Amino acid sequence: MKSGHFRALVFAGVMIGFPVEFSHLAAANPGNQGQVSKGELDALAKKLTSSESLRVDLVQRKTSPSRPNRPVVVKGHALFQKPDRFRWVLGEPLNEETIFNGHDLFKYLPRENVAARYSAKGQQAKEVKRVVDFVLNVESIFNAYKLVHGTREGKVLKLEFKPANPESDEIDTLELTIDEERGFVSRVYFTLRNKSSLAVEFSNPDRRGLTPLSFSLPSGVKVNDIM
């Protein structure tokens, strides 16, 4: 799950366990030292938890180039487990789940009781995979993006990034909102060069352990292989 799209889309929402060193981020934007200092970033890194599992509620807002002011808003929840498992559950009107069990990627439709199995290296569900990568592989952000702006509002830190190599990245702008007190990313927002956008807000983080069944299809589901 380390494709360019995966590296590019998730954090979506919650940092779950990488003691990232933030000093190089402050250095990347010395003009904003008065807003977010190196010391603040380093202190934030120490607060990020090292949980193996995470459950969060989410609200997803997605726009398309043809409807930039009319987002499709969907509520749901997400499950994450290191190193790369996730279950992305969206309610009405989509009523669908995207599941990666460490080997296979599924698009599951509970209402129809069917699922499509895709290659883990394919292009399906790439928006979800981006967000998940931001959740599970925080260091990928700092390797692929440069900090251009950072501000603090109380215990909330807002960071804006640009791709380090714009010509090879679909993302135009990436924004992360970090709840410093609870040590997780509470919002991920990015715009693409085609003028579409995706915003995901996370809440109610629960770090209790998850089992492999959390990332499995229910029994009796018809699976169609689409490679």
Q: Are 18 and 44 in contact (CB under 8 A)?
A: no
Q: Are 78 and 60 in contact (CB under 8 A)?
A: no
CA distances from 82 to 43, 49, 117 (A): 23, 13, 21
Q: Where are the domains of the chain?
A: 4-225
Q: What pLDDT digit, counting tens, does each position of 124-160 carry?
A: 656 667 777 766 666 667 678 888 888 888 888 898 9
In whole angstroms, what is the distance from residue 188 CA to residue 36 CA?
19
Any idea which residue has 């008065």 for tokens? 34
Give the list of residues 6+ apart from residue 30 with CB closer than 8 angstroms, or none.
none
More confident residue, 197 or 3: 197
The fold of the 4-225 domain, in CATH, is outer membrane lipoprotein receptor (LolB), chain A (2.50.20)
More confident residue, 216 or 153: 216
Q: Beta strand 145-153 with 156-163: parallel, antiparallel or unpaired?
A: antiparallel
For the record, the structure tokens of 87 come out as 């279950």
Instruction: Identify any residues that bridge with 56 across adjacent strands, giving them in sequence order.
Output: 78
Q: What pLDDT digit, counting tens, does each position of 187-200 carry?
A: 999 999 999 999 99
Q: Inform me whether the pLDDT recorded for 204 exceeds 80.
A: yes
Q: What does pLDDT average to over the chain?
A: 77
- pLDDT at position 116 is 94
Query: Residue 181 — pLDDT band, cuts 50, 70, 90?
Result: confident
Q: Exposure string (b/e) for 131-170, b if CB count within 10 Å is 16 or more?
A: bbbbbbbbebbbebbebebbeeeeeebbbbbebeeeeebb
- The residue count of the chain comes to 227
| Farthest CA pair distance, the chain | 57
| Nearest residue to 134 (alpha-carbon basis) of 182, 180, 199 | 199
Helix, strand or coil for residue 15?
coil
- pLDDT at position 147 is 85
Q: What pLDDT digit, counting tens, does each position of 18-71 carry?
A: 333 343 444 444 443 336 665 665 555 555 545 678 899 999 999 999 988 899
- pLDDT at position 53 is 85
